[in-house]
């Protein structure tokens, strides 16, 4: 049977090599650049795979036609592969030793409008314009590489989970509303007037129901939908996570699986080193003290120390009645006054602190700085010993009340690390944050869950009945990398009696649980296995691996920071007929 001739291309734009010299071939792609050297035209032809140089010469009419093709138009080119002259070899291209001598060029899709921005200089363009013309923005090589990385990463994650015996199961997108920390996206029902579906914030209840159903190890690449404000590491609207759950498992079982997946993934897709494996386990209280955050960047070597015991004995007005934390900067005495003044300005202007005290330690162990005269010799020696500070170092002081001092100290620690170039950009530093408090005091002064309400309390029913709720820890954990929280997870509460008591402490009745979590409440009465899980965010993993500062750079069609899709015009208006079909009447005018 005769091989059918391909209409547009026989090779892609990265395939041609010296072995192809003399072949009659076809290429198709976008006209990237055109260089006219007077009678000889060089066209860089680009597709998803790479770039090939096309030469047009000899035929004056053909050269004239090709010279007028607008860049970013799509064309198909027929011709002969030939070697480049030695002095014109381009080692930056995979196809740099050869070129295509064009015999025929056809325009497939002509660009008829001016480009809103230069494709390869897209990072200098304001984001709203890039997102409005996202189909052009994605043509840039860096964006294309991010999409390829995303595809390869998801494929790799899927294979790693299957290798470890996990079964991939898809869970519903249209489901019921569930209080999981953010606002739901609601979908009105046409056939059930006045009732609504909700898009899942996560497959939380479904994956727990799969455990009760007898699935031993579940996973999926799960879309999640949350109506929450955007951040540089959080995309509004929707995101994807590697969702997993394991039956008959403990916290350590989850760590064992996920550490392997993370280590293998980050070593495969990056040249950066992972210096600590297995990943360190850091209790929540320790993290808040030493780093001022429950998502610490361990690439920063600075640690926060508590010195309240020293200053509660001294009459220093700005410290009186407050918790006092310090950050020691090794060799900080060498830093300029401009650095210290800049840190004070940062604390006041960016962190809304009342001020930032600092001291330098001289070679004779005397102190130099704004509060040096207020610290007697015995307190000085205790301070240096307790903070592990030496001659030539400097100390920053953060004084505030509990709940504020931790955040301030964490932000100042981070900023010092950046300004002093202490962050090791060549590494990934993972850690587990463990032992989160089960409860906290809410803004209304009442006890509420601090994290996932479905978590198992440490100590079980006995702890719930006999301990101060604020002292109860939960089997909850976060996995953090370079200061970014990749995921929260937990050992789930699968026991009805423990569940009822846990929710009662947070102000819920048994009837509340039955009504709000009816499926889980019902299922747990039919033999539920102990189970635990986690769900690392794929977008955040990609953000780290692609060295991007903003999560929207690794998503094909992201919303902007105001949760708008500028390309498709969402959210947008709908017709009165559409509203009537779903039994909705608006109280606002378009």
Q: Which helix (H) or strand (E) holds 241?
A: strand 237-247
Predicted confidence at residue 143, as pLDDT, reads 96
For tokens 């035209």, the residue is 41
Predicted confidence at residue 574, as pLDDT, reads 92
**Cβ-based neighbour number of residue 434 at 10 Å:** 19
What Rg, from alpha-carbon coordinates, does the chain have? 30
Q: Which helix (H) or strand (E) holds 504?
A: helix 496-505
Predicted confidence at residue 179, as pLDDT, reads 64
pLDDT tops 60 at residue 559: yes
Rounded average pLDDT over 378-403: 95
Return the sign of the alpha-carbon dihedral for residues 518, 523, 525, 528. Answer: negative
CB proximity list for 249: less than 8 A, separation 6 or greater = 491, 530, 531, 532
- What the block records as the tokens of 580 is 């009537």
The overall average pLDDT reported for the chain is: 94
**SS3 of residue 296 by DSSP:** coil
Predicted confidence at residue 190, as pLDDT, reads 94
Question: pLDDT digits over 407-431, tens only?
Answer: 999 999 999 999 999 999 999 999 9
Q: How far is CA 571 from CA 232, 237, 562, in A?
A: 21, 11, 11
pLDDT tops 90 at residue 254: yes
Rounded average pLDDT over 450-478: 94
Predicted confidence at residue 223, as pLDDT, reads 96
- What the block records as the tokens of 240 is 């994807």
**SS3 of residue 135 by DSSP:** helix
Question: pLDDT digits over 301-326, tens only?
Answer: 999 999 999 999 888 888 989 999 99
Q: Which helix (H) or strand (E) holds 281?
A: strand 281-283
For tokens 């990265």, the residue is 14
Question: Could you tell me what percent of the chain has a pLDDT over 70?
Answer: 98
- Integer Cα distance of 468 and 546 in angstroms: 45
**Cβ-based neighbour number of residue 457 at 10 Å:** 24
pLDDT tops 70 at residue 2: no
Instruction: Assess whether the previous peptide bond of 278 is cis (omega < 30° from 0).
Output: yes
Model confidence at 230, pLDDT cuts 50, 70, 90, reads confident
CB proximity list for 368: less than 8 A, separation 6 or greater = 333, 359, 360, 361, 362
CB proximity list for 414: less than 8 A, separation 6 or greater = 297, 300, 483
Model confidence at 237, pLDDT cuts 50, 70, 90, reads confident
Predicted confidence at residue 587, as pLDDT, reads 84
Q: How far is CA 415 from the centre of its chain?
A: 20
Range scoring the smallest mean pLDDT among 23-27, 227-231, 258-262: 227-231
Question: pLDDT digits over 497-517, tens only?
Answer: 999 999 999 999 999 989 888
**SS3 of residue 79 by DSSP:** strand
Do residues 134 and 567 lie in contact, with contact meaning Cβ atoms separated by under 8 Å? yes
Cα dihedral 77, 80, 85, 89 in deg (nearest 10): 50
Question: pLDDT digits over 133-157, tens only?
Answer: 999 999 999 999 999 999 999 999 9
């Amino acid at each position: 049977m005769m091989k059918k001739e391909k209409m547009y291309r026989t090779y892609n734009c990265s395939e041609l090599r010296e072995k192809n010299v003399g072949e009659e071939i076809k290429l198709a792609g976008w006209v990237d650049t055109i260089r006219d050297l007077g009678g000889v035209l060089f066209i860089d032809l680009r597709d998803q795979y790479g770039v090939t140089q096309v030469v047009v010469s000899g035929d004056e009419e053909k050269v004239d036609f090709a010279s007028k093709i607008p860049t970013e138009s799509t064309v198909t080119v027929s011709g002969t592969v030939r070697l480049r002259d030695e002095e014109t070899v381009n080692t930056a291209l995979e196809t740099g030793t050869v070129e295509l001598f064009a015999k025929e060029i056809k325009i497939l899709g002509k660009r008829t409008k001016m480009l809103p921005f230069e494709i390869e200089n897209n990072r200098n363009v304001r984001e709203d314009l890039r997102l409005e013309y996202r189909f052009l923005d994605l043509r840039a090589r860096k964006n294309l590489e991010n999409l390829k990385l995303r595809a390869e990463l998801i494929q790799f994650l899927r294979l790693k989970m299957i290798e470890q015996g996990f079964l991939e199961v898809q869970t519903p997108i249209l489901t019921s509303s569930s209080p999981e920390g953010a606002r739901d996206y609601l979908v009105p029902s046409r056939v059930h007037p006045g009732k609504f579906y909700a898009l899942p914030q996560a497959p939380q209840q479904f994956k727990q129901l799969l455990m009760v159903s007898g699935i031993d190890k579940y996973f999926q690449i799960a879309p999640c939908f949350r109506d929450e404000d955007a951040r540089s590491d959080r995309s509004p609207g929707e995101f994807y996570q590697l969702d997993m759950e394991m039956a008959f498992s403990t916290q350590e079982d989850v760590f064992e699986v996920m550490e392997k997946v993370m280590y293998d993934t980050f070593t495969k897709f990056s040249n950066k080193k992972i210096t600590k494996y297995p990943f360190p386990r850091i209790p929540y209280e320790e993290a808040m003290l030493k780093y001022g955050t429950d998502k610490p960047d361990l690439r920063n070597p600075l640690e926060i120390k508590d010195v309240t015991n020293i200053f509660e004995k001294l009459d220093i007005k700005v410290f009186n009645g407050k918790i006092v934390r310090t950050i020691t900067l090794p060799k900080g005495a060498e830093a300029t006054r401009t650095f210290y003044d800049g840190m004070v300005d940062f604390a006041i202007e960016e962190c809304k602190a009342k001020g930032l005290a600092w001291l330098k330690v001289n070679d004779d162990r005397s102190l130099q700085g704004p509060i040096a005269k207020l610290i007697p010799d015995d307190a000085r020696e205790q301070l240096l010993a307790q903070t592990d500070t030496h001659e030539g170092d400097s100390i920053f002081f953060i004084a505030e009340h509990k709940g504020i001092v931790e955040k301030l100290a964490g932000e100042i620690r981070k900023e010092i690390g950046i300004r002093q170039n202490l962050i090791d950009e060549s590494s990934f530093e993972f850690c587990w944050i463990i032992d989160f408090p089960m409860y906290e005091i809410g803004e209304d002064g009442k006890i509420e869950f601090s994290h996932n309400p479905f978590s198992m309390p440490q100590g079980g029913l006995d702890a719930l009945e006999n301990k101060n709720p604020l002292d109860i820890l939960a089997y909850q954990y976060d996995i953090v990398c370079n200061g970014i929280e990749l995921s929260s997870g937990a050992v789930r509460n699968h026991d009805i009696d423990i569940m009822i008591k846990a929710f009662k402490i947070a102000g819920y009745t048994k009837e509340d649980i039955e009504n709000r979590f009816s499926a889980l409440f019902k299922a747990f009465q039919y033999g539920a296995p102990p189970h635990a899980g986690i769900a690392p965010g794929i977008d955040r993993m990609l953000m780290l691996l692609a060295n991007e500062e903003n999560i929207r750079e690794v998503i094909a069609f992201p919303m902007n920071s105001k949760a708008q899709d500028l390309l498709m015009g969402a959210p947008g208006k709908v017709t009165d007929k559409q509203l009537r079909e779903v039994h909705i009447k608006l109280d606002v005018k378009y």
